[in-house]
Structure 1
Amino acid sequence: METYPKGTQIIQILDKEVYLLTEKAVFLPQSRSLLIADPHFGKAAHFRKAGIPVTEKVHIHDFLKIQKLIESLQPTDVYFLGDLFHSDWNESWNDLEEFACYFPGCQFHLIKGNHDILPKALYRSEIWRVHPESLIIENYILTHEPMESVSEGFFNFCGHIHPGISLFGTAKQRLTLPCYFICNNQMILPAFGRFTGLFRMKCEKTARVYAVTDKKVIPVNFMQ
C-alpha cells in the first residue's frame, strides 16, 4: 500500500491517483514522478545584487523541502515545471547543482519557463534533462504556462500563475492561501518557492480548488 505524507489530499485524475502535497508539489505514484512549479532559485541573490538585503535562507528552506520529499516518496524523476532559476546566473546556481548531485538515483527534468534564461551549456548533462516547451508522461502534458486547450484524454499540469485563493471569515477577515487550481482538464500548481507572490484566482463553477496550509491541503467547496 502506498504511503504518503501527512496532510496530503489524494484525488483522481484520468482514473489515476494524484497526491496534492502540503509542500506545494504533486506526486504521481504510478510513475513515481514529483512535479514542482516555480521554485525561482537564485531570486534572493538577484535581489541582493540590486541592493535589496534578502537572505539566502529562503532557498535553503526550499532545498530542505525537496530533500524531505525525495527521501519520503522515493521518486525516480523530479519535473520542474518552469522558472527553476529566477534570472541571470549568480552563485546560487552552483548551490542548486551541488544539491541535485546528492540524489544520483533521481533524474531531474526542467520544462523551461520564461525565467529560465541561462545558457544551455550551464545545465550539466548528468544532472538535467531540459525540455524547451512541454513533455508528455503517461497522459499528462507538463508545461510551464497553462495550455489554451488540451486534447481529450489528456491532462495538463502547469505553473506560471502562482495561484492563490482568498477565504473569508464571518467578521470580514480575509486569508489568502496558495492553492491547486483545477479547471476542466488542467491543474495550475502553486508556486513552490517561498519568495514568490500569489495571484488570486477567480473561481468558475467548473473549478476545483485545494487550498494549501502548513498542515494539510483543504478542498474549497464554496464560491469566492
Structure 2
Amino acid sequence: MKLSISTIMFQQTELILLKEKAVYCPSHKALFIADLHFGKAAHFRKSGVPIPEPIHNADLYNLQALISVFSPSTIYFLGDLFHSDWNGQWEVLNDFLKQFTEVTFHLVLGNHDILDERAYRNSAFEVHKGCLELGELLLSHEPLEEIPVGKLNLCGHIHPGIRLVGKARQSIRLSCFFYKPNQLILPAFGSFTGLALMKPKPGDQIFGVTKEKVIPILS
C-alpha cells in the first residue's frame, strides 16, 4: 500500500487525510471512516436490481490495508456502516472485523443503521447513539449545527464531492474531504455510494481524492 497524504492540524490534533477516504489521528492511534454502506448491494438485489456482491470486496481490502499500515488501536465508523435492513452481509462484515483482535471498533449510529439492538449487541462494535467526544474531536454521523469553541466535528452523511472543469470544458467528479471552520466532513468510504457536490463558502477548504493521492483544491 503506497501512502499519499495531506495533513490538517486542528490546535494540537494532527489529522492525516488518506486517499482511501479515511482519516488517521496519530495522537489517538485512531482511524475514522464514514459511510461504508456495507450490504447495500444485497439490499438492491432484494429490490430486483442485479448488483454483484463483490462490489464490497474492495472496501474490505482497503480497510485491511489501512489496519496493516497504521496499526490503529481504535477505528471509529461515523455512521451508515450497514445499509438499512439486515442481510447476510452483516455477518460477513463482523466475521471480517473480528480477526483484528488488537483493534477496538466503535460505531456512531447513522440514519441507515437501523438493525435490531440484538444485532449490535452481538457484533464487533461498541455502539453510540449520539455524538461521541474524543479529546478535541466531536464524532457524529450528520454534521453538527452547533460546535463548541475549541472542538472539531468529524462527520459523514453528506458524501461530499467536487466537480472540476478543464479548459476544454471536460469535467470530472471527485470525492473530497470538506473542511470548514470547526468541521471536517469525510468522503464516503464505501465504493457503492453517490456524491453530493459541495458549494464552498469563503474560508472553506476542499481536498479532492484520487486513486493516487489527496489533492488540496481549495484552501
Same fold (TM > 0.5): yes
| Structure 1 portions without partners, runs of 5+ | none
| TM score, norm. by length of structure 2 | 0.97
| TM score, norm. by length of structure 1 | 0.95
Asked if 1:200 is matched to 2:191, the reply is: no
Moved over 3 A (4+): none
- Given that 2:13 and 2:136 are in contact with CA atoms closer than 8 Å, whether structure 1 keeps it comes out as no
Asked if 1:42 is matched to 2:39, the reply is: yes
Aligned to 1:141: 138
Aligned to 1:219: 216
Aligned to 2:180: 183
Aligned to 1:29: 26
Asked if 1:70 is matched to 2:64, the reply is: no
- Given that 2:38 and 2:83 are in contact with CA atoms closer than 8 Å, whether structure 1 keeps it comes out as yes
Structure 1 residues 147 and 78: alpha-carbon distance in aligned structure 2, compared to 1, 3 A threshold: same
Percent identical: 47
Task: Calculate the aligned-residue CA RMSD, in Å.
Answer: 1.3
Matched residues in 2 for 1:208 and 1:137: separation?
23
Aligned to 2:118: 121
- Given that 2:205 and 2:217 are in contact with CA atoms closer than 8 Å, whether structure 1 keeps it comes out as yes
Q: Could you tell me which amino acid in structure 2 is paired with residue 196 of structure 1?
A: T
Q: 2:51 aligns with which of 24, 49, 54?
A: 54
Aligned to 1:160: 157
Asked if 1:88 is matched to 2:85, the reply is: yes
Q: How far is 1:15 from its partner?
A: 2.9
| Structure 2 portions without partners, runs of 5+ | none
- Given that 1:5 and 1:21 are in contact with CA atoms closer than 8 Å, whether structure 2 keeps it comes out as no
Q: How far is 1:16 from its partner?
A: 2.3
Aligned to 1:112: 109
Aligned to 1:99: 96
Partner-residue secondary structure (3-state), 1:109: strand
Matched residues in 2 for 1:92 and 1:142: separation?
25
Aligned to 1:79: 76
